[in-house]
Structure 1
């Protein structure tokens, strides 16, 4: 089973955290409260899903993270490891109004982004390759990474 996980899968703002914790003490305000939370979170729908990504297991020790980065050049992308986090960023400059005016329909997003993926201490990033608009990041699991279950004795006082 893969331990490589998408780290930031849902945007949680301080307000939505406060409001969700407030459910316990806002008895009687259920409808008002629920509508407020729904409206707040609607503004962030799709925000965390750009760009699309896959995590594919190649074999027991190799994984591939695929990030759809159509419209990005190699020098506009960065892949960094910060501790146990793999950070993928893409930087796009603002378009001029002349560049925007030439399109009749525009469905391919090309905006700056930051995505992170949770790795383990046993994971080694081998390489990153940009191929046909897909950024492929190959990861190798150095050891099996299995965890032993340790029983913790409970003292009676």
Structure 2
């Protein structure tokens, strides 16, 4: 039996980690075994991913895709039957809702439904301000470091200038 872990003491001593604790609590509660419809997660390269969901029997108008605050929600609601008299009904037509937690800066760039597979394209778009950048060593505001003050040689001052 799985016991729920109380994150309240950690919430009091952290700032800005609320979403992390919410995700941990939701994942602990989400162990209800819901695995319909099945999906694949494919990494295309370092910044591009694809989610493929098997939605056989669903049409474009019966699927709703929403991306909101680092969460992708895919819902399917089957339309009413056309009055057919089924002897056996083996194709799943139940409604579904699949939720995917998206990392920061992941954007859904496209969706396509082909041969019963719903493909969702995802891209990680890191803002320029958050990308690593090289900092040159120098003075403030990118100015070169000020020149070192020249030291006056005491012996040179005592010498008389050479005649010209």
For 2:100 and 2:86, the matched residues in 1 are separated by 36
Name which of 89, 100, 107 aligns with 1:124. Answer: 107
SS at match of 1:143: coil
Shift of 1:95: 4.2
Name which of 50, 54, 57 aligns with 1:64. Answer: 50
The alignment's TM-score, normalised by the length of structure 1, stands at 0.57
Aligned to 1:90: 76
Q: Name the larger-Rg structure.
A: 2
Shift of 1:21: 3.0
Aligned to 2:94: 111
The alignment's TM-score, normalised by the length of structure 2, stands at 0.55
For 1:57 and 1:91, the matched residues in 2 are separated by 28
Cα deviation digits, residues 74-116 of structure 1 (max 9, x gap): 00001101201000000114548x53x4233x33211110000
Shift of 1:121: 1.9
Across the aligned residues of Structure 1 and Structure 2, the Cα RMSD in angstroms comes to 2.6
Moved over 6 A (4+): none
The structure with higher relative contact order (CA 8 Å, sep 6+) is 1
Aligned to 1:36: none
**Gaps in structure 1 of 5+ consecutive residues:** 1-18, 23-43, 147-157
| 8 Å CA contact 2:52, 2:120 repeated in 1 | yes
**Gaps in structure 2 of 5+ consecutive residues:** 5-31, 132-164
For 1:64 and 1:103, the matched residues in 2 are separated by 38
